[in-house]
């Protein structure tokens, strides 16, 4: 029997990049996966098609996290999709992966209130509300993973707004862990370092060389390498880990 046979999962931002990798990996382990996206319906459908081609089951749910009513819309879609595919709305695994990321270059002197609001709305407020409202679907023994970033543990001033919001996300992990423990629900942070998410910058050898220098392994991470770690943290084998920060940066934070 596969590790996640008869389990279900929601991965936010699963149309592309790391989220797609996590969705593929959880489905490979046997979970039925809800694939959330914001704009790119074709990519979300491609994630589902890749899962189905490999023998798994998945469905897409559009919801633009950070916007009013998005969490409710997402959960309505998740309830409907899971009930159709499994006969129940039980959600065993929640992966908060979607993020506002495109603010490199907005350093301390140029960050605007709008950038801060956007970062906090998508990267911290939406995951908190999603956990709060999804808990009625999550059974005892469920698993929640918040995808943060190594940038909360090393200074990158040009990413200050993003880093502030990811630090807030990590606080959700910490402060929710004792609240969820009586139900044997784990909640953990997984923090990737620079990971090839298919962005064109990863086709630029000079940029890749600079990014690679940050990791102890002197290369950028692959989506599957982060997904493997998330799949473990989201499994029952990791039931004794909660409230923790899992470094998935390939040794970027070693100093
Ligand atoms: P990505 O390739 O840019 O993909 C972002 C995904 O999130 C897409 O599926 C996108 O959907 C979705 N999304 C964006 N805004 C959303 C919103 N408001 N509501 C719902 N979905 C939304 O991102 P990534 O690089 O894989 O990053 C995934 C996670 O890892 C993020 O939490 C990021 O902070 C973290 N991380 C990434 C790296 C890295 O180097 N890649 C490093 C550290 C941490 P659409 O396709 O519809 O736009």
Work out the pLDDT band at 49, boundaries 50, 70, 90: very high
Is pLDDT of 104 > 80?
A: no
- Specify whether the CB–CB gap between 8 and 91 falls below 8 A: yes
The protein residue with its alpha carbon nearest to ligand 1, atom 46, reads 40
- Specify whether the CB–CB gap between 106 and 162 falls below 8 A: no
Sign of CA dihedral 152, 36, 38, 81: negative
Q: What percent of the chain has pLDDT over 90?
A: 96
pLDDT at 2: 84
Spatial separation of the C-alpha atoms in residues 90 and 160, rounded to whole Å: 37
Substitution site in 10, 11, 12, 13 for ligand 1 pocket (most atoms within 8 Å of beta carbon): 13
The residue-averaged pLDDT of 199-223 equals 98
Work out the pLDDT band at 168, boundaries 50, 70, 90: very high
pLDDT at 87: 98
Distances (CA, A) of 140 to 71, 92, 173, 236, 253: 22, 9, 17, 12, 34
Q: How far is the CA of 76 from the centre of ligand 1 (A)?
A: 22
* Residue 34 CB coordination number (10 Å): 30
Spatial separation of the C-alpha atoms in residues 227 and 21, rounded to whole Å: 6
Is pLDDT of 190 > 90?
A: yes
Q: How far is the CA of 98 from the centre of ligand 1 (A)?
A: 5
Pairing state between β 195-196 and 143-147: unpaired
What residues does ligand 1 touch, defined as CB less than 6 Å away?
12-19, 36-40, 43, 64-66, 97-99, 101, 122, 147, 149, 192, 194-195, 197
Pairing state between β 93-96 and 57-62: unpaired
- Tell me the catalytic residues: 162
CATH tag for 8-250 (out of 3.30.2290.10, 3.40.50.720, 3.40.1000.10, 3.40.50.300): 3.40.50.720
Q: How far is the CA of 123 from the centre of ligand 1 (A)?
A: 10
pLDDT at 187: 99
Strand partners, 62: 37
pLDDT at 103: 67
């Amino acid at each position: 029997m596969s590790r996640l046979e008869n389990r279900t999962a929601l991965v936010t931002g699963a149309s592309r990049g790391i989220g797609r990798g996590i969705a593929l990996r959880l489905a490979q382990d046997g979970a039925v996966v809800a694939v959330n996206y914001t704009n790119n319906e074709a990519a979300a459908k491609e994630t589902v098609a890749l899962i189905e081609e490999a023998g798994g089951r998945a469905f897409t749910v559009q919801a633009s996290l950070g916007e009013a009513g998005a969490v409710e819309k997402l959960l309505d879609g998740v309830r409907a999709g899971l009930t159709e595919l499994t006969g129940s709305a039980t959600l065993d695994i929640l992966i908060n992966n979607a993020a506002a990321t495109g603010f490199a270059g907005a350093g301390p002197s140029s960050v605007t209130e709008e950038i801060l609001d956007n970062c906090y709305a998508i990267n911290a407020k939406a995951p908190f509300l999603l956990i709060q409202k999804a808990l009625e679907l999550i059974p005892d023994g469920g698993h929640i993973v918040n995808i943060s970033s190594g940038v909360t543990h090393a200074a990158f001033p040009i990413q200050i707004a993003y880093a502030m919001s990811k630090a807030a996300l990590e606080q959700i992990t910490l402060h929710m862990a004792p609240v969820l423990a009586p139900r044997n629900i784990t909640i953990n942070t997984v923090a990737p370092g620079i990971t090839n998410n298919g962005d064109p910058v990863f086709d630029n050898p000079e940029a890749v060389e600079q990014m690679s220098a940050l990791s102890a392994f002197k290369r950028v991470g692959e989506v599957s390498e982060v997904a493997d770690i998330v799949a473990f943290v989201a499994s029952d084998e990791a039931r004794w880990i909660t409230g923790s920060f899992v470094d998935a940066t390939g040794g970027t934070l070693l100093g």
